[in-house]
Amino acid sequence: MSVLGEMFSNLLSKPFTILYPKEKVPVPDAFRGKVAISDEKCIGCSKCSLVCAAQCITMVEGQRVVEFKGKKLERKKKPKVKLFSCIRCGLCERHCPVPGAIYLKNELSDTGTDRETVIT
Amino acid sequence: MAEVIIPIGPHHPALKEPVNFKVIADGEKIVRLELDLSYTHRGIEKAAEKRDFIRVLPLLERVCGICSHSHSSAFAKGIEETMQLEIPPRAQYIRTIIAELERMHSHLLWLGVAAHEIGFNTLFMWTWRDREAVQDTLEEMSGNRVHYGMNEVGGVRRDLTLEQVNAALLRLPHLEDRIKKYVDMVNNQKTLLVRFRGVGKLSKEEALKYGAVGPTARASGVDYDVRSDDPYFVYADIPWEVVTDTSGDVYGRTCVRIGELQESIKIVRYCLENLPEGPVRVTAPKAAPPGEILSRYEAPRGELVHFIRTNGTDKVERVDIRTPTLANWTSVAMCLVNQNLADIPVIVAAIDPCLSCTSRITILNIKDRSAGVITMDELRRRSCTRCYGQEQE
Amino acid sequence: MIDPVYTFVYIFLFPGFLFIIIYGLILEFLDRRIAARMQNRVGPPFFQPFADFIKMLGKEVIDPEGVDRQLFDAAPLVALAAVMTAYLYVPVLGNSPLAFQGDLVLVLYLLTLPTIALFLLGWLSRNIFSAIGGIRAVTQMFIYEVPFFLALLAPALMAGTWSISEIAVWQQKNLWFIFLQPIGFVVALIGLQAKLERTPFDIPEAETEIIAGPWTELTGRRLALMHLTMNVSLVVGSSLIAALFLGGPMIPWVIIPVWMGWIAGFFLFLAKTLGVLLVLASIKVATGRIRIDQLNRIGWKYIASAAIVQVALVLIINSRWVSS
């Protein structure tokens, strides 16, 4: 009998579905979405590339001057992430010595058709 | 009708993952069953030998989507025991919270799937709607709805903030109400009762003989739960109970799983309210001392065993995963004989098969082009001869 | 003499074949929508069944090897033709112009042809799942046909006529049969649910057990026509129950002009068939599938005995009224 009661009360109430493109799906802040790299903070230590579980981070040339612990350093390399190989495990963010250099934003990554899309 | 072979699988709407049953049926009664597993072998155990302890955890998480935290926890727990690391209490509590939340979402999923197998789609829709509350909690805490990535060797990767704890506590009462409604439904809904009661009966002796684990065995009265027999994390310190039943049929397994849902809510609530302060991880050494460790864990489907052999480097030499579904398949093959054809999906769904976890070795003999499996006696003879250097009977 | 133009419009346009195809698809939409809302989902938009029908007509027809292609093409057509013909004798606007004594028996006979067509399709596809599904379809038919016929026979006995339209007219002068024969009404609804192969009686088409039963090898236009047959039988079944138990589209007063009476009758027809559909959809949502041997047990123990009790009651009441 509880089934019948619930059925009829559901008939008269709003469905649970979020009608996706029209309504927004609530995404929490801690969601592991697209990878983002900040050139000003990254010191090019290659740790992210070593711990990446999917081996999708390679270090490429990127000469720049970075401020790290109060000193200005000349750094040579920066990471390049293959967007569609990344499994969003977050190990790069966890093991990066500078908070905010490489991190996972809470946006979903876009769809695409090119397998070699990279984020630098 | 004469005896016919009905191929259930590898592709079949009743199965979510490929497995091959060749059912030999006489009319609607099953005479015999031939089982063929190993369609989802991905070589994870071999791939784990090449990755160090940081990179191997995401790999082992992806053995299964529903019990992903179980695999990474079992492995991390084993490695920490080899290294003799003591992880901080807050990390233990957080691991327990995520483990019980995973058990809740898995059992709610199972309830929906079991209802779908008997054509009762309404319960399927409702349980999966309520499962969204658990998934939202997990997403807030860990960042993803499956493959949580919370574990590290040495503790937990993320901390739980006060807002997350409070948001989770707010969702629990609604879940408790819904689960009470499902208890009521399972006990009173006529079509559920008529399809679940008396179907797939497994007595206690049979469950012990065929090595059934998890809710499948506990429904037959076998009081075996790794969380209470070999406690890990905080299960030895918090109040909770093992849920058993004596009927041994699919209805009993449903009752056991719903009981475990209620226990899990209590455990999560206790842990969230009594979360100790402190760090969430310790720095683990890079390499593990050589040794062999058997790490047992109670996954939502039963007892999960990881056998790990380390050799002093920062990678494992061998990891062998024995999942609970593999242990339960024999009981399915045995209790399907003399049942009705229409009961196959119900009985198969009652052990909560997760074929991503299951794999069995097929021995290919290239010389005479044959394929087959190894029997238990052959396995014992080969391994015991090698280890102990003497013929075993 | 019946006007040929009127007959042509009645049979082919409104309320004939064109109307019933459209109305059947609308009822399918309503059925799916109501079921979805009961399950807290959204459900398909109103044009979904039309889009499904047109899409399926355009898909490729796959013939399994060794299958008799002509019989495979003919079976859905025969089923569709049977239910559409049955529809012509059901009162929609008022009396059906083709009514005659005994058309109740004809309609009941024609409504069994889709199940026979499904069995034939199941047997002809050289596929173990279809064969099992076909056998289950015929077994189910044997179980529910007897109570269903008896439950629909009881109103005919009480009204003293074998024509559906006259039974509907009889109810205007007396009570509706739902009040006079409630047991028969319940049995008729259960029988209709079993005839249409909907949960809890969708045993021949059990998706999780035998893939799709006799529907497995149907593709393209064959599947479209068979699906349309099921929708049309839903309309015919509900309007049969509406006519026999709920008074049909007749109004107790005479309305002038005549066409206004027809419009009022048509709206009554729509309302009553929608009411029956609501009950059928609720049964579909509230239960799971039962096994064929369990159906055997409850069919003969409870449903058939209820139908026999109902007919016996009617016979007793008839004899007392006639004798007094």
Residue B306 has φ and ψ, to the nearest 5°, of -115, 125
Q: What residues make up the domain containing B323?
A: 44-350
Q: In this structure, which CATH number among 3.30.70.3270, 3.90.226.30, 3.30.70.260, 1.10.357.10 belongs to the domain A26-119? A: 3.30.70.3270
For residue B23, being part of any structural domain is answered with no
Domain ranges of chain C: 4-323
Helix (H, G, I), strand (E, B) or coil at C50: helix
Q: What is the pLDDT of residue B35?
A: 81
- Res. B114 pLDDT band, cuts 50 70 90: very high
Kindly state the average pLDDT of the residues A51-63.
90
Res C37 pLDDT > 80 = yes
The amino acid at A1: M
For residue B331, being part of any structural domain is answered with yes
pTM of the full predicted structure?
Answer: 0.91
Res B318 pLDDT > 60 = yes
Interchain contact B129–A (C-beta under 8 A):
yes
Q: What is the pLDDT of residue B294?
A: 93
* Mean pLDDT value across chain C: 89
| Measured distance CA(A39)–CA(A31) in Å, rounded | 22
Interchain contact A11–B (C-beta under 8 A):
no
Residues B267 and B382 in one domain: no
CB contact under 8 A, C41 and B345: no
The bridge status of strand B363-365 relative to strand B151-152 is unpaired
Closest-CA residue of B relative to A90 is B149
Kindly state the average pLDDT of the residues B365-386.
72
| Measured distance CA(C92)–CA(C164) in Å, rounded | 11
Q: Which of B327-341, B373-387, C150-164, C246-260 has the lowest mean pLDDT?
A: B373-387
Chain A nearest-CA distance from C38, in A, is 5
Chain C nearest-CA distance from A24, in A, is 17
Residues B249 and B306 in one domain: yes
Interchain contact C138–B (C-beta under 8 A):
no
Q: What is the pLDDT of residue B389?
A: 54
For residue B111, being part of any structural domain is answered with yes
Q: Which two tokens stand for residue B44?
A: 């994870």
| Measured distance CA(B24)–CA(B19) in Å, rounded | 16
CB contact under 8 A, C206 and B119: yes
Q: pLDDT per residue over C60-115, tens digit each?
A: 998 888 888 899 999 999 999 999 999 999 888 878 888 888 889 999 999 999 99
Upstream peptide bond of C76 is cis (omega within 30 degrees of 0):
no
Residues B231 and B286 in one domain: yes
Residue of A3, A4, A7 for testing the chain C interface, max C β-carbons within 10 Å: A7
Q: What is the pLDDT of residue B392?
A: 45
Q: What is the pLDDT of residue C324?
A: 45
For residue B20, being part of any structural domain is answered with no
Residues B327 and B373 in one domain: no
When CB atoms are compared, the residue of C40, C43, C282 closest to A16 is C40
Residues B164 and B137 in one domain: yes
Domain ranges of chain A: 26-119
Please answer whether residues C145 and C272 qualify as being in contact, where contact means their C-beta atoms are separated by less than 8 angstroms: no
Range list of β-strands (E), B9-139: 20-26, 29-36
Q: What ipTM was assigned to the predicted interfaces of this complex?
A: 0.90
What are the beta bridge partners of residue B305? Answer: B296, B322
When CB atoms are compared, the residue of C34, C41, C286 closest to A17 is C41
| Measured distance CA(C311)–CA(B252) in Å, rounded | 42
Closest-CA residue of B relative to C136 is B28
Using an 8 Å CB-CB cutoff, list chain B residues near C199: 119-121
Res B373 pLDDT > 80 = no
When CB atoms are compared, the residue of B54, B144, B184 closest to A51 is B54
Q: What is the pLDDT of residue A112?
A: 83
Give me the percent of chain B exceeding a pLDDT of 90: 54
Kindly state the average pLDDT of the residues B97-124.
93
Q: What is the pLDDT of residue A114?
A: 85
Q: Which helix (H) or strand (E) holds B43?
A: none
Q: Which is nearest to C140 in space by CA: C189, C196, C185, C182?
A: C196
| Measured distance CA(B259)–CA(B266) in Å, rounded | 11
Chain A nearest-CA distance from B198, in A, is 23
Interchain contact B55–A (C-beta under 8 A):
yes
Interchain contact C278–A (C-beta under 8 A):
no
Q: Which is nearest to B21 in space by CA: B2, B6, B40, B1?
A: B6
Residues B289 and B384 in one domain: no
Q: What is the pLDDT of residue B393?
A: 44
Interchain contact A93–B (C-beta under 8 A):
no
Residues B345 and B378 in one domain: no
Please answer whether residues C214 and C204 qualify as being in contact, where contact means their C-beta atoms are separated by less than 8 angstroms: yes
Interchain contact C126–B (C-beta under 8 A):
no
The amino acid at C303: I
B276 DSSP 8-state letter: P
Which one has a higher pLDDT value, C262 or B290?
B290
Using an 8 Å CB-CB cutoff, list chain A residues near B50: none
When CB atoms are compared, the residue of A6, A87, A91 closest to B54 is A91
* Mean pLDDT value across chain B: 88
What is the CATH classification number for the domain harbouring B209? 1.10.645.10
Residues B289 and B382 in one domain: no
Domains: count for chain B: 2
Residues B346 and B368 in one domain: no
User: C317 CB contacts (<8 Å, ≥6 apart)?
Assistant: C158
For residue B22, being part of any structural domain is answered with no
Closest-CA residue of A relative to C288 is A3
Hey, which residues 176-195 in chain B have their CB within 8 Å of chain A? 181, 184-185, 188-189
Residues B111 and B162 in one domain: yes
Q: pLDDT per residue over C213-229, tens digit each?
A: 899 889 999 999 999 99
- Res. B22 pLDDT band, cuts 50 70 90: confident
Q: What is the pLDDT of residue B220?
A: 92
Q: pLDDT per residue over B35-60, tens digit each?
A: 877 788 888 888 999 998 999 999 99
Residues B237 and B341 in one domain: yes
- Residues making up chain B, counted from first to last: 393
Range list of β-strands (E), B20-77: 20-26, 29-36
| Measured distance CA(B295)–CA(B102) in Å, rounded | 19
